[in-house]
Amino acid sequence: MKSVMGTGKTVEEAVQQGADQLGVSVDRVRYRIIEEPSKGFLGFIGGKPARVEVEEILDPTEQAIQFLNNVVPLMGGKNLQFQARNEEGQTIIELQGDGLGLVIGRHGQTLDSLQFLLNIAVNRMVKESVHFILDAENYRAKRKETLERLALQSADRVIRSGKPLRLEAMKAYERKIIHTALQDSDEVETMSEGTEPNRYVMIKKK
């Protein structure tokens, strides 16, 4: 994170000088006092100015969008647009544009990998801990609907056959969608089995 040294007759002046060097307003910086100002002998002889170390407070969402603007075009994305919103303490970034099929990947695997890298990159740039959910072309909502349909269809199959059904390996948040979709069923139960990354949901008749 970039920092500069500011000096002035007062700490406030030193902070302002540092902010001016960084090209941002004072409310976008944090500072550390290196040396308090002193007036010296008789108020002016040997006096010392205030010295502070000033650094910009980076906005996590701005840094995330900048990261994506640099990376997504290398993956084939064009005409990019970003929308960010906060939900339950997380920031969801919705990506729109052309050529995003490769960015999403099979079952969202590439999108998940990009999301992982995004969170690592931004958390290295900002001091507070942040977490982003990355979506593209509303993929995650569509995937949720697909998994919920799969859960209901699979449960019906288990009820009719009486035999347990093993679903394909899924990521933890996808397995949770299956469990949630069937948690109120009086006829089937679900459980996760296996070890990562090949953990899967098993649906059985009660």
Read off the pTM: 0.70
Which pLDDT score, from 0 to 100, does residue 132 have? 93
Residue where one domain finishes, among candidates 100, 122, 137: 137
Q: Which residues constitute the domain of residue 183? A: 142-205
Query: Which residue type occupies 200?
Result: Y
pLDDT along the chain (206 residues), means of 10: 84 90 87 83 64 89 94 93 85 92 90 95 85 92 94 96 94 93 94 91 94
**Is the domain of 69 the same as that of 128?**
yes
Which pLDDT score, from 0 to 100, does residue 1 have? 63
Interval 82-127: pLDDT, tens: 999 987 778 999 999 999 999 999 889 999 999 999 999 999 888 7
Q: How far apart are CA 134 and CA 116, in angstroms?
A: 9
Q: How many separate domains does the chain show?
A: 3
Which pLDDT score, from 0 to 100, does residue 174 have? 92
Whether 52 and 16 have beta carbons less than 8 Å apart is answered as: no
**Is the domain of 156 the same as that of 96?**
no
Which pLDDT score, from 0 to 100, does residue 205 have? 93
**Is the domain of 46 the same as that of 84?**
no
**Is the domain of 72 the same as that of 127?**
yes
**Is the domain of 150 the same as that of 178?**
yes
**Is the domain of 67 the same as that of 127?**
yes
**Is the domain of 33 the same as that of 95?**
no
Q: How far apart are the first and last CA of the chain?
A: 56
Which pLDDT score, from 0 to 100, does residue 120 have? 94
**Is the domain of 132 the same as that of 166?**
no
Whether 151 and 118 have beta carbons less than 8 Å apart is answered as: no
CATH of the domain at 133: 3.30.300.20
